[in-house]
Amino acid sequence: MSRIDRRACLKGLGVSLSLPLMDSLGWAGVPAGKADKPPVRLGFMYMPHGVIMDQFWPSSPESFLSSPPPALESLRPVLDQCVVMKGISGVPIAPFNGAPHALELSTWLTATLPAPEKRNEINIAISADQIAANHVGAFTALPSLELATMPQTWKENQEGLNEGYYSHCSFSSPTQAVPAEVNPRNVLNRLFNKQGGNTVASTPLSELDRGLLDIVLGGARDLRRTLPVSDQRKLDEYLDSVRSVERRIAAIEARQKEAALEKAGVRASNRRASDSPPIEIRIPEGEKRSEYMQVMCDLNILAFQTDMTRVSTYIGSTPNGASYPELGFNDQHHSNTHHNNDPEKVRKIALITEFNIRQFAYMVKKMASLREADGTLLDNCIMMWGSGLEDGNVHTRENLPFIIAGKGGGSIRTGRYFANTRGNQGDLLTTLLACAGVPNDRPVGIATKQIAELKAQA
Amino acid sequence: MSSLVPVAAAIRRLLKTPAGGLWLMLSLTCPFASQAGNHDALKADAAQYFRDRVTPFVKTYCLPCHRSERPTRAGVNFTPALKTPEHAAFTEQWKKADARVMAHDMPPKGAAQPSDDDRRMFAEWLPKLKYLSDKDPGPFVIRRLTKPEYANTLHDLFGVPTSVADGLPDEVAGQGYLNSLSPLQLEQYLAIAENVLRQVVAPPGHKRTDIEKRLFGPSARPTGDARRAAREIARSLARKAYRRPPTDAELDTLVATFDLGTRNKLPYQQALGLMLKGVLVSPQFLFITPAINPVGEAGPNTGIVPLDDYQLASRLSYFLWATMPDQELMTLAGRGELHLPAVLQAQTKRLLDDPRSRALFDGFGAQWLNVGGLQRQVFDPALFPQMTPALRQGMYDEVRLFFQSIVRDNEPAIRFVDSDYTYLNGTVAAIYGLENTVQGAEMRKVRLSDSQRGGVLGMPGILAATSLPNRTSPVKRGVWVLEQVLGEHVPAPPPDVPALDKQDPAAVAHLTLRQRTELHRTNPVCANCHRILDPIGFGLEKFDAIGRWRDRDTNGQAIDSSGELPGGKRFSGPADLKTILAQRNADVARNLVEKMLAYALGRKLEGYDEIVVDDLMADLAGGEGKNAGGGGKNEAYRMRDIINGVVTSYPFTYRRIEAQRSLHEQN
């Protein structure tokens, strides 16, 4: 019975890790020495099963900042840098009515239904985060960062759907789900190019590895030619992965060269001396969910701050259900969502929602405290928190809960609540991509328009 | 598995027949007669039935809405299904159509309605569907090694501990398996390869390791031309790691990685190390691939061919051992003898007798019986402080040793449900209340005198796996019995289930779990399934959420574990339930055969596979086990016979080489 034993991974790692020569690094893809705007970063954070509506939605646009609803209380210090919109509807899920939880996650960033005739395979659409990664990922060591706190191996196939739909929201192509990393140590190693996930000694990916992969790639192409079409497609995933790792090694090497030049004073950094230094990462020793979720938040912040990536997706938990002993009860998230207005269950769901939003608030508040260029890191980010259902009790999707934090480099006007937005989740994702400067020739999923009121300039 | 037999179940469930329906009808399902001989006749009959009766029905009642157009209505389109009804892509569609038509959901109100006779005609079509399939072993689906397979293979190749692969993400193997490979994973493979190299290849100037000598030859320096020496080493490495002899092109690739090392001024041994790293990140190592025709060399491009012996060696070895073929299998494959039935059966026996065959439980058995997640499953520590890692491991080991004993002793499949022994250590014995008889950490075989126990229905591991963190779930247990033991498919509840306790919630709070669960049956939408599920779950209610026997629930109320199944079968607890299930010997065995075949093939069963299973069932029903080791008891469906049947079956030993363009892509 093999499994990831998170505790084993984390044990003895309660140490702060200092970071290699990142202080001087500027933004990739920007001519050095030019005082340029930092890039816009785009982050998504997910919670399953919806919210208790009367505790989530603000009572009015006017009172949004002065007396936010209970669920948003933890965001109060940065509410002026947030937007909440009511009226964003989800993709109608017929003919998958019997699988609301697979759909709430898999449609979340795709705004698209799985192909009904190929439901037992992954066949959906590229997700918004991966569209962004395709555009800006070439500049950074990681095209995008995918984080999760639960293994993505839930086995269930309601409505005959592939089980991958229960645990993935990022898709790099219609047929390829992007796995998320659950081990903070592995994330750190990836960000700073150390190999050997759970070993202490680690060696970086090297130019030699790139050469090796190049040769192996050639051999794999030969193999591919001998295979039938359906198997060729499977091998394509392998080939794509090899190419992607090759690109990543090249990007890392290029950045290391820049850093060396900057350090030697040969070229000036476009990062300002007044910018906050990279944050410290402290990998927790215990099993507390809040600490686990927060170290993943920290890694997300660090990755943005050091421009290791500009796109992140963080599945706070998957629909098969986390449990929250810290909140004083041990039953699983999902078992309380069908509360039928039982006050005790409603209380638990409200607590779970508040807990999740508090972790998001932890992340964006920290971003707001980090100086970057003329403002803060958060000023240059678009952080979206949300759930795939409105009301987990009855699986409604008419008003999906979303919180947007950050000004997106000036593209979003914040501090507002819209009580009557008209649009769907595809419209919202399309708008966010546009705000992040991602040229999008096609709307995301079911989108038909952009949501004008969100933008600083409509 | 959500296919074959469940079809019948799904339809019958939706047949709005009076009480009796499903349970009665299924228990009347007769054993499957062998149809191998008259397949052609059945096929002709099915084709005619489809042409003359089903096609006009679909054209009249379905096509008006569900035809090729954009967007399709509810994603259902009968235009292509009419052209090639037997294509696997449409199996699910036919099942659902039948179910909806029989439930009078379709055609919708207001549209022209077929007569009841016509509806019945349509339902009778479904069991005939399989006969339209041509005799077809299916393609050899290439697949990535699973995490345990990858770890075991590295262990066998280099003697490294399987923990080198711990960093890889866990995965769910078998059917519907998310067989993808991401950049993240490739990086992990690179990292693991590097890690292996560090353990295998000594740094320059250090004493060479034994494995290094075994892999790279006794001499630290090449004898003669270094490239030629490297090529020979590549040949022997690849033969092991790719599990077949490499082609010249593959050797060229590997020598190129050696050259890369040399160009980068690596010493000879380190350059060989780099080549080894190349082997370990190559698709030929990471995937189980079909035989390769050397590029440019002629080979069959399409059609049905026997698996070559190397492929068969891999398929057999990964099925039973979850690792690469050993020397003996490779030697037999090299001689071209492995596929001979006598050799194949002897090797199956050898592999099953080897301790490594525990992998069949870890890979297949644990997944089938749903105990793979036990270590991670959440239990309320306040209510169940006993659920320590040691108890969870003990529960898992009990199920494992029981499974292995059935394999070892060639017991009939029904033994899973009905047996008088189990395996316990002191920790698990406490759950049984046998802490005075069984003590210590070691698991051992224990005779059970309590007829409520014995068999998977009374095993704590299974009772816990089907519970919620704080209580039992009769529904989950009912679903588990139907799906995992009987192989029926239980559909998900409809999305907008009306609240069970529309009544005064305070009143509901005073009901027992049983009374609350029984509310399901006051709602006709729920009742359809729950009148079967819930009684089975109630029958197991005297086992608490971690499998302890109890007479009263947590509120002190007496537990009623009696019930009646549709069709009038009454029972008063687990022992009776076991007896009732034992009468469905053939259904239990068929479910096991189907699940095991799908696991062995690494794909979903479809089309012709159903006929393969029919034939296999007919063979297995024939009384005496062929190589019985279990005391000559005259019982059908013995475990080793089932495994032998799978291993020698047509889809296991043959493959279809797919034509260049599949139907899938034309759509």
Q: Is A230–B658 a contact, with Cβ atoms under 8 angstroms apart? A: yes
Closest residue in B to A343 (Cα) is B505
Dist. CA B475–CA A411, nearest whole Å: 51
Dist. CA B163–CA B151, nearest whole Å: 7
pLDDT tens for residues A60-77?
999 999 999 999 999 999
Mean pLDDT calculated for residue range A318-347: 85
Residue B660 pLDDT class (50, 70, 90 cuts): very low
Answer yes or no: do A177 and A309 share one domain: yes
pLDDT for position B15: 36
Answer yes or no: do A137 and A98 share one domain: yes
Dist. CA B114–CA B52, nearest whole Å: 16
Closest CA relative to residue B635, chosen from B453, B364, B409: B409
pLDDT for position A178: 87
Distance from CA of A175 to the nearest CA of B (A): 9
pLDDT tens for residues A383-432?
999 999 998 888 888 899 999 999 999 999 999 999 999 999 999 999 99
Answer yes or no: do A143 and A276 share one domain: yes
Answer yes or no: do A250 and A282 share one domain: no
pLDDT for position A269: 63
Instruction: Report chain B residues whose CB lies below 8 A from the CB of A334.
Output: none
Q: Is B176–A162 a contact, with Cβ atoms under 8 angstroms apart? A: yes
Helix axes B248-263, A207-225, angle to 10 degrees: 170
pLDDT for position A261: 73
Position A288 pLDDT exceeds 90: no
- Highest mean pLDDT pick, A6-15, A27-36, B75-84: B75-84
Q: For the ranges A389-398, B10-19, B231-240, B615-624, which has the lowest average pLDDT?
A: B10-19
Position B302 pLDDT exceeds 70: no
pLDDT for position B67: 85
CA distances from B224 to A51, B213, B447 (A): 73, 17, 66
Closest CA relative to residue B411, chosen from B601, B648, B643: B643
Residue B158 pLDDT class (50, 70, 90 cuts): very high
Q: Provide ipTM, 2 decimals.
A: 0.77
Residue B173 pLDDT class (50, 70, 90 cuts): very low
Q: Is A340–B505 a contact, with Cβ atoms under 8 angstroms apart? A: yes
Mean pLDDT calculated for residue range B118-132: 87
Mean pLDDT calculated for residue range B276-301: 74
Tokens of residue B58, six digits: 């679909």
Dist. CA A102–CA A318, nearest whole Å: 9
Tracing tokens 């810290």 back to the chain, one arrives at A326
Residue B25 pLDDT class (50, 70, 90 cuts): very low
Residue B353 pLDDT class (50, 70, 90 cuts): very high
Position A198 pLDDT exceeds 50: no
- Looking at every residue in chain B, the average pLDDT score rounds to 83
Residue A205 lies in a domain: yes
Answer yes or no: do A218 and A279 share one domain: no
Share of chain A above pLDDT 70, in %: 86
Listed in order, strand segments (DSSP E) in B253-379 are 287-288, 303-306
Residue A40 lies in a domain: yes
Distance from CA of A49 to the nearest CA of B (A): 14
Which candidate from A159, A186, A244 shows the least CB-CB separation from B492?
A159
With a CB cutoff of 8 Å and minimum separation 6, the contacts of B452 are B458, B542, B549, B573, B574, B575
Dist. CA B292–CA B654, nearest whole Å: 15
Q: Does A117 touch chain B (CB under 8 A)?
A: yes
Instruction: Report chain A residues whose CB lies below 8 A from the CB of B501.
Output: 340
Residue A313 burial (10 A CB sphere; 0-12, 13-18, 19+): buried
Best mutation target among A142, A154, A159, A238 (most B Cβ atoms within 10 Å) is A238
Instruction: Report chain A residues whose CB lies below 8 A from the CB of B172.
Output: 153, 155, 163
Dist. CA B619–CA A149, nearest whole Å: 48
Mean pLDDT calculated for residue range B150-179: 77
Answer yes or no: do A400 and A362 share one domain: yes
Which A-chain residues 287-346 have CB contacts (< 8 A) with chain B? 323, 325, 330-332, 335, 340-342
How many CB pairs (< 8 A) connect A and B? 238
pLDDT for position B501: 46
Residue B296 pLDDT class (50, 70, 90 cuts): very low
Position B8 pLDDT exceeds 60: no
pLDDT for position B142: 81
Residue A163 lies in a domain: yes
Best mutation target among A3, A106, A117, A393 (most B Cβ atoms within 10 Å) is A117
Residue B632 pLDDT class (50, 70, 90 cuts): very low
Query: Can you give the CATH number for the domain in which A363 is found?
Result: 3.40.720.10
Residue A172 lies in a domain: yes
Answer yes or no: do A24 and A120 share one domain: yes
Residue B292 pLDDT class (50, 70, 90 cuts): low
Answer yes or no: do A127 and A252 share one domain: no
Position B519 pLDDT exceeds 80: no
Position B255 pLDDT exceeds 60: yes
Instruction: Report chain A residues whose CB lies below 8 A from the CB of B287.
Output: 234-235, 238
Q: Does A66 touch chain B (CB under 8 A)?
A: no
Instruction: Report chain A residues whose CB lies below 8 A from the CB of B92.
Output: 119, 160
- Highest mean pLDDT pick, B19-33, B42-56, B125-139: B42-56
- Looking at every residue in chain A, the average pLDDT score rounds to 83
pLDDT for position B114: 92
For residue A84, the tally of other CB atoms under 10 A from its CB is 25
Instruction: Report chain A residues whose CB lies below 8 A from the CB of B660.
Output: 228-229
Residue A1 lies in a domain: no
Which candidate from B195, B378, B658 shows the least CB-CB separation from A228?
B658
Rg (CA), chain B: 28
pLDDT tens for residues A113-162?
998 878 878 889 999 999 999 888 877 878 899 999 987 766 666 777 88
Q: Does A206 touch chain B (CB under 8 A)?
A: no
Answer yes or no: do A296 and A421 share one domain: yes
Tokens of residue A441, six digits: 């020739």
Q: Per the structure, how many domains does chain A have?
A: 2
Dist. CA B251–CA B228, nearest whole Å: 11
Dist. CA A215–CA B258, nearest whole Å: 10
Closest residue in A to B471 (Cα) is A331
3-state secondary structure string across B75-103: HCCCHHHHHCCCCHHHHHHHHHHHHHHHC
Q: Is A183–B167 a contact, with Cβ atoms under 8 angstroms apart? A: yes
- Domain assignment of residue A259, given as a range: 193-270
Contact A249, A210 (CB under 8 A): yes
Answer yes or no: do A185 and A288 share one domain: yes
Residue type at A263 in one-letter notation: K
Answer yes or no: do A218 and A287 share one domain: no
Give the domain-ending residue among A270, A285, A308: A270
pLDDT for position A249: 78
Share of chain B above pLDDT 70, in %: 83
Residue B428 pLDDT class (50, 70, 90 cuts): very high
Q: Enter the DSSP assignment of A15.
A: S
Share of chain A above pLDDT 90, in %: 42
Is cis: bond before A95, omega within 30 of 0?
A: yes
Give the domain-ending residue among A227, A245, A270: A270
